[in-house]
Amino acid sequence: MTAALRLDGRRALVTGGASGIGAATAALLRDRGAAVVTADLRGGDIIADVRDAHSVADALLAAGGRLDGPPDLVVTAAGIYRIAPAVAITAAEWDEVLEINLRGTFLTAREAARAMATAGTGGAIVTIASTAALQPDAAEPTAHYNASKAGVIALTTQLAVELAPHRIRVNTVCPGVIDTPMLRLMDDPEAGERFLREGVPLQRLGAAAEVAEAIAFLASDAAAYVTGVALPVDGGLSL
């Protein structure tokens, strides 16, 4: 491994770090040398509700205390996935998905950016979008989820240009069908295997650890000249 991929001395906060992509990312960042704190509504090192501005601010402060300094690497992995036809989605269901996936990403990134800018040391923020932001799916309708993740991409690119003068890079990954607790594709194994065979060029599910590898790259000095990127990690699904 090249030195640029190492994260020695970095202080990382991962929201949604109790399971799935967040947990895999936290483990990999630690393996690469970073000091890591996870925040999650159900578990993690810090209990935090990313929908609540005060809870997010408290989480950043608590993480700074545990890490002996404000995080200079933040991954916003907290999120939920819901399936429903657009005409059946209630206003409350819409709000729940947007509040966690988009508002939560904004609040976390905002607080992280404030802390990094105040510290003056720069840093990296990696958000989690989805290939659902890039293309629709009639078979598994998720209008609220798609909209939230498209918003994450737009938010990420805007933050990238605003925070660049502070030497803060902001990128996002767009996972495809990843084997995590949120995955619903394989509820019908036969239909799921057919989808992988016909719809995913690499013809398999992705692993949370594979998404974590992309996140760790974007957070590292190996990606020092990369900001505002939406990187698909999807086995070719978005093609």
Cβ atoms 22, 54 nearer than 8 A: no
The 3-state DSSP composition of the chain as helix, strand, coil percent (nearest 5) reads 50, 20, 35
Reading the block at residue 149, the tokens are: 């993740």
145 carries an active-site annotation: yes
DSSP alpha helices (H): ranges in 71-142?
A: 91-98, 104-119
Specify the residue for token string 């929201």.
15
Strand partners of residue 38: 14
Distance CA 16, CA 169 (A): 20
Please tell me which residue in 41, 145, 151, 232 is annotated as part of the active site.
145
H or E element that contains 171: strand 168-175
Would you name the residues annotated as active-site residues?
Answer: 145
